[in-house]
Structure 1
């Protein structure tokens, strides 16, 4: 039985992101993000209807514009999550953001891990690695979370940090690469 493109992404196996099925999924996400960005602020509410169709939203979430996601279908926001302006979520794998998490402006979350071989990279070969952000986490503006990391409950990631390893619950990290304070 053939697996769906979404199942292949979730498997962690190498696949070509240039396949037409992935492009159609990205096209739907681009339409949703565009709708979100171009709505009147007072009409936007927590997010645009097309974003709400893709993203699994908890109660009382707020996504400021502009916002970008690759697929949206792999993004889950817990209750009370706040994404400030300019957040980017490249959700080729599951991205779970826990309740009451706060993401500052320009936070980026990346799931795609591109192949090391340049020939395979040109062919769009990548794999997807999940990212998890625990409840009550605060991620400062401009921070970047790399593929496969988990941020523990109550942790704080300083503005501008690049997180390449898991962050322990209730800890604080800063720097490039991010290290415990």
Structure 2
């Protein structure tokens, strides 16, 4: 089994073999071009993302700078928006649903290392998938760790570190991130605290 196959299968793998290093270098070249295009060159940026990712919706907008490891493990749904400084370590599958918003400095880490220093010093890594449902807003500075599923219609508060699955229809915040309440029909009336939506 190759190191890439081990990576995809959730087994321990070594990331600096020729195949995986070459694929990361290829992605970095594309991302370098992406991050250095002029702001008005939106369609050129989108062409690079379509080439890099395994799947995209028709409509998406990713503000540069953006970083990822491979790109081919990332799938985004319709109407995805990511603000500045998004980092996705996509050593395993990252699946993002429709109508998902990322605030600035959101990081998704599918990769990890053994806790004990001896296997870690031997260069071993592992990777497990991240799945984000539909209609999710991920606040600024959020970190999502490996092997996490976030349900539909969720808000993750700024600065949270997501270490466990988050169910649908809730607000979750903190380090570690925890559900603080369900989202209700009453929330439809307000845009910030008790300020009402009048239009």
Q: TM-score range by the shorter chain?
A: over 0.9
Moved more, 76-85 or 117-126: 117-126
What residue number does 2:11 align with? Answer: 13
State the distance in 1 between where 2:140 and 2:161 align: 11
State the distance in 1 between where 2:46 and 2:60 align: 12
What residue number does 1:22 align with? Answer: 20
Q: Identify which of 50, 53, 56 aligns with 1:52.
A: 50
State the distance in 2 between where 1:43 and 1:50 align: 11
TM-score, normalization by structure 1:
0.94
What residue number does 2:122 align with? Answer: 123
- Structure 2 spans left out of the alignment, 5+ residues: 181-199
Task: Spell out, residue by residue over 1:72-123, the C-alpha distance to the aligned partner (whole angstroms, 9 max, x if none).
Answer: 0100000111111100000000000101100111000000121223232123
Q: Identify which of 16, 39, 42 aligns with 2:37.
A: 39
The secondary structure found in structure 1 opposite 2:164 is coil
Q: Is the 8 A contact 1:136 1:153 kept in 2?
A: yes
State the distance in 1 between where 2:171 and 2:82 align: 19
If asked which structure has higher relative contact order (CA below 8 Å, sep 6+), I would say 1
Structure 1 residue 29: deviation in Å? 1.3
Residue-pair matches, total = 179
What residue number does 1:169 align with? Answer: 168
State the distance in 2 between where 1:50 and 1:141 align: 25
Residues 19-168 of structure 1 correspond to what in structure 2 (within 5 A)?
19-45=17-43, 47-55=45-53, 56-168=55-167
Q: What's the C-alpha RMSD, in Å, of the aligned pairs?
A: 1.4
Structure 1 runs of 4+ with >6 Å offset? none
Q: Is the 8 A contact 1:144 1:160 kept in 2?
A: yes
Q: Is the 8 A contact 2:3 2:15 kept in 1?
A: no
State the distance in 2 between where 1:119 and 1:18 align: 17
- Structure 1 spans left out of the alignment, 5+ residues: none
